[in-house]
Amino acid sequence: MVLAVDVGNTVTTIGLFAPDGAPVFFSTVQTNRDKTKDQCAIDLMNVFRLNGAEVSTVEGGILSCVVPPVAASMTDAMQRLTGRRPIIVGPGTKTGLNIRSDLHNQLGADIVACSVAATARYPSPVIVVDMSTAITFSFLREGVYEGCAICPGIRLGMEALSERAAELPHISLEKPPAVMGHNTIDAMRAGILYGNAGLVDSMIDRLQEGAGECAAAVVAVGDQAPLILSYCQHEILYDPDLLMHGLYLLYLKNNRKPKKDSI
């Protein structure tokens, strides 16, 4: 079994893969920058217990983390529970991608993992749209990571709007009755959902124009994606587990079958 952990800015996703690569479970817990290694270990144990799995079956692990204060604690927790130091996605990790030189050591681990999985699972060229804390657009062609664009995330923009405009309330992200709202809340929801859908459609067009080639597939990930995609005009596939499958593929590319350490 392979344990894969992705520490994002908002949530941490924990996944377990069987020897044949089939997912056993995926679970999420809230990311907390102040968690100690013991608290991270407790989170991991609770997730295994919740899903009826045994930590003792884990033969190796891999970690991607875009929250530096959590990286050391989660690494220690994974090693403590499994007896093996996890592979940490970062500079020096074998990806199989040809990443443009300026970006090689700057790409987030989550973007790398999604790109590896997208290259393996979808025809080329492929655009990956990650709608998480930020919205990122990546263009990949024949195993080459051509470049990306980064925009503020949906909830990030929504919270900034409410916090910086005194008369605009905090709202939940729900479907508006129409593109033209007849009250403040419906108007905000329409602007957020239709506005971000327009952003996604426009960026896809501009990426294809910049690349001089249309994408054979456009894939979206992130918990905000399903709601936004329903308003997009482009055909966009939703693959919620793309990042986790990418981590598993990265594990296979980088695993040297280390011996189990003593705890």
Closest CA to 81 of 36, 48, 51: 48
pLDDT tens, 81-134?
A: 888 899 999 888 888 888 875 665 667 888 889 999 999 999 999 999 999 888
Looking only at the bridges linking them, the beta strands covering 126-131 and 134-141 are antiparallel
232, 1 contact by CB (below 8 A): no
Domain positions in the chain: 2-88, 98-243
What single string gives the DSSP state of each residue in 92-113? T---S-EE-GGGTTTS-HHHHH
Please give the backbone phi and psi of residue 208, each rounded to the nearest 5 degrees, phi first.
-65, -40
98-243 matches 2-88 in CATH topology: yes
Predicted TM-score (pTM) of the model is 0.85
- For the cut 70, the answer to whether the pLDDT of residue 254 exceeds it is yes
Annotated catalytic residue, options 6, 34, 38, 110 = 110
| pLDDT (mean) for 172-195 | 85
3-state secondary structure of 148: strand
Cα–Cα distance for residue pair 88/224, rounded to 1 Å: 26
Q: What is the pLDDT of residue 96?
A: 86
Q: Side chain identity at 50, as an amino acid letter? A: L
Q: Which helix (H) or strand (E) holds 54?
A: none
Query: Is CATH 3.30.420.40 what the domain over 2-88 is classified as, yes or no?
Result: yes
42 has pLDDT over 90: yes
Question: Using 50, 70 and 90 to split pLDDT, how confident is the model at 179?
Answer: confident
Higher pLDDT, 224 or 209: 209
The reported pLDDT for the residue numbered 172 is: 78
Number of residues written out for the chain: 263
Q: What is the mean pLDDT of the chain?
A: 88
**Whole-number Å distance between alpha carbons of 11 and 7:** 7
Amino acid at 56: S
For the cut 90, the answer to whether the pLDDT of residue 178 exceeds it is no
Tell me, what's the pLDDT at 259? 47
pLDDT band at 173 (very low <50, low <70, confident <90, very high): confident
Confidence of residue 229 (pLDDT cuts 50, 70, 90): very high
- pLDDT of 174 reads 80
String of DSSP letters for 150-195: EEE-HHHHHHHHHHHSTTSPP------SSSS-SSHHHHHHHHHHHH
Query: Does the active-site annotation cover 38?
Result: no
Confidence band for 157, pLDDT divided at 50, 70 and 90? confident
Least confident window among 35-49, 172-186, 203-217: 172-186
Q: Would you state the CATH architecture of domain 98-243?
A: 2-Layer Sandwich (3.30)
The Cβ-side half-sphere exposure at 193, using a 13 Å CA radius, reads: 23
